Amino acid sequence: MTRLRRRILAPYHYAWALLTALWYGFPAKRLAVIGVTGTKGKSSVAEMLYAIFATAGYETALAGTIRFVIGSKSRQNLFKMTLPGRGFIQKFLAEALAKKCTHAIVEITSEAALQYRHLGLDLDALVFTNLQKEHIESHGSIENYFRAKLSIGEALVRSIKRPRSIIARADDVYGAAFLALPVEKQIPFSFADAVDARVSENGVLFSFGGTHFTLSLPGEFSVLNALAAIKTAEVFGVPLETCAEALKELSHISGRVERIEAGQNFTVVVDYAHTPDSLRALYGAFQNHRKICVLGNTGGGRDTWKRPEMGRIAEEACEKVILTNEDPYDEDPRAIVDAMEAGMRRVPEIVMDRRLAIRSALRSARANDVVLISGKGTDPFIMGPRGSKEPWSDAVVVREELERLLAEF
């Protein structure tokens, strides 16, 4: 959406948000509502929080990029947007309230904020994970992107709830602005909070507040996400022992460093990574292995600046790089791939059919290799020209191709 069109439509979006909140009786006022925002880590933190509150015995709702959950009933998010518009969230919270939920966790994006979808959420707490260079063409600048994010914090300030809490990453360059919000509780988190942290490709171990934590999710980013969730849960009176129990049982998060196992003798991971920093973090979590990387992380019509950078990062980290299609929308998919290749010195393999690219990667793998397939995560469609969309799941396709490969031996 162009910035001019966004300004023109702003009153429309504001009216929709306000009227639907009124129609459903402002359900957020009767729930403990936790917002989660940031460029990366939102879904992981939201899923961790859901696991913690569920383990603590609270009936909890979750609205996020991966799925929508009310109590124990879950459905996949098929909207291709984290927080849908036209009053979706107010209807969702009203349904959660009707099902006796007491807590709701809501991922909030900058685009949702610009369209006032967070209006009427009456936040009790907000988690800010980080801010990375992303959505620049949509917002016009990194400063505009930051201001859109900070407007979510300002919504926390306006909330009628008490006490209000901001939980923000202290060592992010933009974290200080969130921690300066005039609310009752400002709670920083950083990697330094994790005592005796040990990070490996199989998971992480650390201590916090005298309690030992074990997660099956790899990488330093998993420690940071866990700390954000733990400190938020503490605000609501959840004991650290309950947090530790919940996170230990959280075996995976769909589309977020998700391992696909079919009996193969190498590792296959599906991940959403679609910024340079998140791609580096993904590759860095598997440093001691030969990596075969399927890279299709730059959708059409946005963030063209990062395409050669993503290609360069993959070339530096991976033994073999296969460039492929992701979500071209109305842009020429080959032009997107050519732009990624422009950042590389070695000639990559180019396979425009995403299934065939995945097949090629799996067939190239040897024992103990790691195949990393990034860019889609749990995205349910490949978006093409003129609004066309092809149903898709990286995880399903990987599993099918692994089974095909293993059946040949």
Assess whether 235 and 288 both reside in one domain. no
Q: Are 29 and 160 in contact (CB under 8 A)?
A: yes
Assess whether 187 and 44 both reside in one domain. yes
Residue 89: is its pLDDT beyond 60?
Answer: yes
Mean pLDDT, range 159-167, rounded to an integer? 98
Assess whether 219 and 262 both reside in one domain. no
Domain closes at, from 249, 284, 318? 249
CA distance linking residue 109 with residue 145, whole number of Å: 10
Assess whether 341 and 197 both reside in one domain. no
Residue 66: CB partners within 8 Å, gap ≥ 6?
43, 47, 76, 77, 253, 254, 255, 256, 377, 378
Question: Does residue 106 sit in helix, strand or coil?
Answer: strand
Kindly give the pairing relationship between strand 73-76 and strand 67-70: antiparallel
Indicate the number of domains in the chain.
2
CATH at 181: 3.40.1190.10
Position 302 scores a pLDDT of 81
Position 334 scores a pLDDT of 96
Give the pLDDT band of residue 5 (cuts 50, 70, 90).
low
CA distance linking residue 141 with residue 144, whole number of Å: 5
Amino acid code (one letter) for 83? L
Question: Does residue 91 sit in helix, strand or coil?
Answer: helix
Cis status, amide bond into 333, omega within 30 of 0: no
Q: Are 35 and 118 in contact (CB under 8 A)?
A: yes
Question: Does residue 284 sit in helix, strand or coil?
Answer: helix
Assess whether 192 and 95 both reside in one domain. yes
Assess whether 146 and 112 both reside in one domain. yes
Assess whether 305 and 157 both reside in one domain. no
Question: Does residue 113 sit in helix, strand or coil?
Answer: helix
Position 397 scores a pLDDT of 98
- The helix or strand, by DSSP H or E, that contains position 105, with its residue range, turns out to be strand 103-107
CA-based nearest residue to 116, from 20, 229, 238: 20
**What are the pLDDT digits (tens) for 337-374?**
999 999 999 999 999 999 999 999 999 999 999 999 99
Full domain range(s) for residue 316: 258-407
CA distance linking residue 178 with residue 166, whole number of Å: 7
Assess whether 204 and 82 both reside in one domain. yes
**What are the pLDDT digits (tens) for 386-403?**
999 999 999 999 999 999
**Range from 97-101, 136-140, 264-268, 404-408 carrying the lowest mean pLDDT:** 136-140
- The helix or strand, by DSSP H or E, that contains position 156, with its residue range, turns out to be helix 142-158
Mean pLDDT, range 78-95, rounded to an integer? 94
Position 2 scores a pLDDT of 56
Give the pLDDT band of residue 254 (cuts 50, 70, 90).
very high
**How much is the mean pLDDT over the chain?**
94
Residue 1: is its pLDDT beyond 60?
Answer: no
Domain closes at, from 192, 215, 249? 249
Strand partners, 374: 271, 295
CA distance linking residue 105 with residue 84, whole number of Å: 15
Produce one character per residue of 220-242: b if its CB has 16 or more CB atoms within 10 Å, e if not.
Answer: ebbbbbbbbbbbbbbbbebebeb
**What are the pLDDT digits (tens) for 30-66?**
999 999 999 999 999 999 999 999 999 999 999 999 9
Assess whether 212 and 270 both reside in one domain. no
Assess whether 71 and 209 both reside in one domain. yes
Structure tokens at 100: 């006796």
State the first-to-last Cα distance of the chain, in angstroms, to the nearest integer.
50
Assess whether 86 and 225 both reside in one domain. yes
pTM across the whole model: 0.95
Assess whether 285 and 212 both reside in one domain. no
Packed helices 3-23 and 88-98: angle between N→C axes, nearest 10 degrees: 30
Structure tokens at 101: 């939920």
Domain closes at, from 215, 249, 283? 249
Give the pLDDT band of residue 3 (cuts 50, 70, 90).
low
**Range from 8-22, 96-110, 197-211, 312-326 carrying the lowest mean pLDDT:** 8-22
Position 274 scores a pLDDT of 87
Q: What percent of the chain has pLDDT over 90?
A: 89
CA distance linking residue 241 with residue 244, whole number of Å: 5
CATH at 300: 3.90.190.20
